[in-house]
Amino acid sequence: MPGVLRKRRGGQLDPALVDACLGAWDRVADGLEQTSSVWEEAMHRARALLPEDEAAPNLDAIASAFGDYADIKSPVFLGHSTAVSMLAGRAADHLELPKPEAAFVRTAGLLLDVGRVAVPNGVWEKPAQLSPSEWEQVRLHAYHGERVLLRHAALAPFARAVGEHHERRDASGYHRGTAGSALSITSQLLAAADVYTALLALRPHRAPFTRSGARETLEGMAAAGTLDRRAVVAVLAASGHSSRPPPPDPRLTEREREVLRLVARGLTNKEIASSLEISTRTVQQHATNIYDKLGFRSRAGAALYATEQGLL
């Protein structure tokens, strides 16, 4: 395990956290070899650190952290959970759902894809058609997300909505194949918002849809009985009211923002240099300046910052 942490230090894992973990490894590892389930032991320790009665007031922050962690699984997903949460929340407001229900939708949107981390990046980033076994892994990410949330009382109320966000009214969805009559309006709003947001994003196997193309696709799914028509109408209405991005960070130059956006997308220095028509050495210098100015030590931190700044 220490070897894995060292290998991922500065990449997927924050260097400071890795160093702290390794520095106290005897305490961290105490009891892990004797337990039958590392996952159960980790959840037990997490509950001790954050009791259920303390989790509720911090629920939005916790959900946001879960969503960010799921999204940095791969550059293709950056910003997805936040975008789904905002869009589904506006759609809930459009339908004039009660405020507690609209708040539930927003929080559930942040948690929607926590199960994504159970699927290898090689599957998510595959540009070709998935094999049957790979597709089965994708189908189960909603199941894994539901299981994760059921482990903590403060998050358990969102488990069903997360498990249902790929279900369809005609029972063609996954992972249970639940039909529309058994799906709540919150689950159907999240499903429509998730589809619309995903269509607008670049994926390894396709280019992003235009807004009109995404609208036509959603309308077609509603007409076919795949997505709930009321949810689709609400999501499409809400999609025209995107929030304004935050003002540019004055610490970064325009060129540094361009480099940061491409770094967050997972491009190599050579690919960034080609895209911006500058040298690889210049890209490296810009990246160093960005990390120094913003205090980041990993691509994951830079990616989250780029998402918050609306650069993606």
- What pLDDT does 51 receive? 61
Asked if 7 and 75 sit in the same domain, the reply is no
Q: Within a domain: residue 178?
A: yes
Q: What is the CATH number of the domain that holds 102?
A: 1.10.3210.10
Considering only 49-53, 133-137, 269-273, 298-302, which range has the smallest mean pLDDT?
49-53
Asked if 126 and 206 sit in the same domain, the reply is yes
The mean pLDDT value for 44-52 works out to 61
Q: How confident is the model at residue 255 (pLDDT cuts 50, 70, 90)?
A: very high
Q: How confident is the model at residue 242 (pLDDT cuts 50, 70, 90)?
A: very low
For helices 185-200 and 229-238, give the axis angle rounded to 10 degrees: 50
Adjacent-strand bridge partners of 13: 9
* 190, pLDDT greater than 60: yes
Asked if 231 and 98 sit in the same domain, the reply is yes
Q: Within a domain: residue 172?
A: yes
- What pLDDT does 5 receive? 84
Asked if 203 and 101 sit in the same domain, the reply is yes
**Nearest-angstrom CA–CA distance, 118 and 103:** 27
Q: What is the CATH number of the domain that holds 267?
A: 1.10.10.10
**Nearest-angstrom CA–CA distance, 169 and 42:** 37
Token pair listed for 160? 């069903």
Which range of residues forms the domain containing residue 97? 55-238
Helix (H, G, I), strand (E, B) or coil at 9: strand
Q: How many CB atoms lie within 10 A of CB 152?
A: 16
* 241, pLDDT greater than 90: no
**Nearest-angstrom CA–CA distance, 185 and 82:** 20
* 154, pLDDT greater than 70: yes
Q: Within a domain: residue 244?
A: no
**Nearest-angstrom CA–CA distance, 169 and 176:** 12
Q: In 241-262, which positions are buried (b, 16+ CB within 10 angstroms) versus exposed (e)? A: eeeeeeeeeeebeeebbbbbbb
Q: What does the pLDDT look like over 281-292, one tens digit per residue?
A: 999 999 999 999
* 152, pLDDT greater than 70: yes
* Residue listed under structure tokens 């500065």: 10
For helices 280-294 and 254-264, give the axis angle rounded to 10 degrees: 90
Asked if 275 and 207 sit in the same domain, the reply is no
Token pair listed for 183? 């799906």
Q: Looking at the 3D structure of the chain, how many domains does it have?
A: 3
Asked if 129 and 228 sit in the same domain, the reply is yes
Asked if 63 and 44 sit in the same domain, the reply is no
DSSP conformational letter for 201: S
Asked if 66 and 184 sit in the same domain, the reply is yes
Distance from the Cα of residue 130 to its chain's centroid: 21
More confident residue, 181 or 233: 233
Q: How confident is the model at residue 35 (pLDDT cuts 50, 70, 90)?
A: low
The top-scoring range by mean pLDDT among 10-19, 272-281, 299-308 is 272-281
- What pLDDT does 52 receive? 59
* 245, pLDDT greater than 60: no
Residue that is last in its domain, among 37, 53, 69:
53
Q: Within a domain: residue 291?
A: yes
* 40, pLDDT greater than 70: no
Amino acid code (one letter) for 155: L
Asked if 20 and 116 sit in the same domain, the reply is no
Asked if 223 and 295 sit in the same domain, the reply is no
Q: How would you classify residue 10: left for phi > 0, otherwise alpha for psi between -120 and 50, otherwise beta?
A: left
Asked if 130 and 12 sit in the same domain, the reply is no
* 55, pLDDT greater than 80: no
The mean pLDDT value for 276-300 works out to 89
Distance from the Cα of residue 86 to its chain's centroid: 13
- What pLDDT does 302 receive? 82
**pTM recorded for the entire structure:** 0.72
Q: How confident is the model at residue 305 (pLDDT cuts 50, 70, 90)?
A: confident
For helices 254-264 and 299-308, give the axis angle rounded to 10 degrees: 120
CB burial of residue 151 (10 Å; 0-12, 13-18, 19+) = middle
Asked if 152 and 177 count as a contact pair (C-beta separation under 8 A), the reply is: no
Residues of the chain with pLDDT > 70: what percent? 88
